[in-house]
Amino acid sequence: MKLVLVAACALIDVDGRVLIAQRPEGKPMAGLWEFPGGKIEQGERPEETLIRELKEELGISVSEPCLAPLTFASHAYPDFHLLMPLFVCRRWEGTVTPLEGQKLAWVRPNRLKEYEMPPADVPLVSHLMALL
């Protein structure tokens, strides 16, 4: 089984809402809502992945001390095993902008269950509810 490492980040705004993004058409699991992030590339640390992905996907600058580890997902998909650390971030520079045509939503943690997420993400929601 292939192990896929992905770094994900829950951005949290001043009202305690969490940012989720909808996977665009044409990608696996299109239409599901997920945390911004992406695959950890060779030689990258998860924090570096997130700083890169948050810039590419959302146009924001995040500094490493603002990324706090919260929990992780370990989930067996049919074709790979996903290991995904989830960080939280409350401070960034710039305006969150959907640079890859994705839909974005700022959601209170107790309403995250109304958004269909990949199966790996479902157990993460209760951690966010406990935090916020």
Ligand X SMILES: Nc1nc2c([nH]c(=O)n2[C@@H]2O[C@H](COP(=O)(O)OP(=O)(O)OP(=O)(O)O)[C@@H](O)[C@H]2O)c(=O)[nH]1
**Chain residues that interact with ligand X, rule: CB under 6 A:** 6, 8, 27-29, 34-35, 37-39, 82, 118, 120-121
Q: Is 38 exposed, middle or buried (0-12, 13-18, 19+ CB in 10 A)?
A: middle
56 is in an annotated binding site: no
| CA-to-CA dists, residue 40 to 24, 34, 94, angstroms | 20, 16, 23
Q: Which is nearer to ligand X, 27 or 90 (CB)?
A: 27
In the complex, least distance from residue 32 CB atom to ligand X, rounded to whole angstroms: 8
User: What is the rounded CA–CA span in Å between residue 57 and residue 129?
Assistant: 25
Question: Which pairing describes strands 3-11 and 37-39: parallel, antiparallel, or unpaired?
Answer: antiparallel
In the complex, least distance from residue 129 CB atom to ligand X, rounded to whole angstroms: 16
57 is in an annotated binding site: yes
In the complex, least distance from residue 47 CB atom to ligand X, rounded to whole angstroms: 15
80 is in an annotated binding site: no
DSSP code, position 41: P
Q: Residue 115's beta-bridge partner residues? A: none
In the complex, least distance from residue 74 CB atom to ligand X, rounded to whole angstroms: 11
94 is in an annotated binding site: no
Q: Which residues are annotated as a binding site for Mg(2+)?
A: 37, 57
Cite the annotated binding site by residue number.
23, 34-37, 57
